Amino acid sequence: MDNNTVITKFKIEAMASRHLDEMVKIHIAAFPDFFLSFLGTRFLKTFYMSFVNADNGIALVALDQNGHVIGGVAGPITPANYFKKLLIKRWWVFCYSSVNAVIKKPAIAIRLFQAVFYRGEVSSSQRNLALLSSIAVAPETQGMGIGRALILKWLDHAKTANVEGAFLTTDAIDNNTVNAFYVNLGWRLESQYTTRQGRKMNRYVFNFKQGKDNDFKTLF
């Protein structure tokens, strides 16, 4: 896609297997220096495929007028059950998918599943929450409302799943634009924590009972 392309119209639909190659490219382009990108295309494809195949997952993509993926969002409705079952049933797939990254840097083996599946615990009074695990938009289309539309549509799906709300985590340091983005969408900073690698994270919660009515209006 040309970097000067302006997206004036797009649609959002369920993520499917045919979208995965483009989704992985977008993820790596949006987060080139992040850990999941380091794990490689095979791992990322396996990661997103897990949400496509799961009854407990919500995975959506934004498509431009030509049907090309320009962004995507994914996450489980009940994170604890989702990741526990995934590790039991599919651990060998994730191990195989990450083998090249582990060979390049053996020290990451212990961190691998912690980084992918741990998102910090919410308070005991807020256990019934979906988890927004990943949101990525093609860099050349950022600022066009695609990320906002994807998150609101994802929340719309989660709202029908008998959960009280949703939570997500993002970097607390040198990440002002992203943090402001979530706050403007109605997410509330619930707490902060530090990862085992010393990374300071913000944990945000979106409560459906407190969310504004217009948070879930169709945007197109």
Confidence of residue 151 (pLDDT cuts 50, 70, 90): very high
What fold does the segment set 11-216 form as a domain?
Aminopeptidase (3.40.630)
Give 143 or 197, the one with higher predicted confidence: 143
Which amino acid would we find at residue 213?
A: D
Q: What's the confidence (pLDDT) of residue 92?
A: 43
**Helices 109-117/79-97 angle, 10° precision:** 140
Which of 199, 198, 206 shows the shortest CA–CA distance to 131?
A: 206
Q: What CA–CA distance (Å, rounded) separates 117 from 55?
A: 18
Which of 198, 180, 201 shows the shortest CA–CA distance to 190?
A: 201
Q: What's the confidence (pLDDT) of residue 53?
A: 82
Return the domain boundaries, the chain. Answer: 11-216
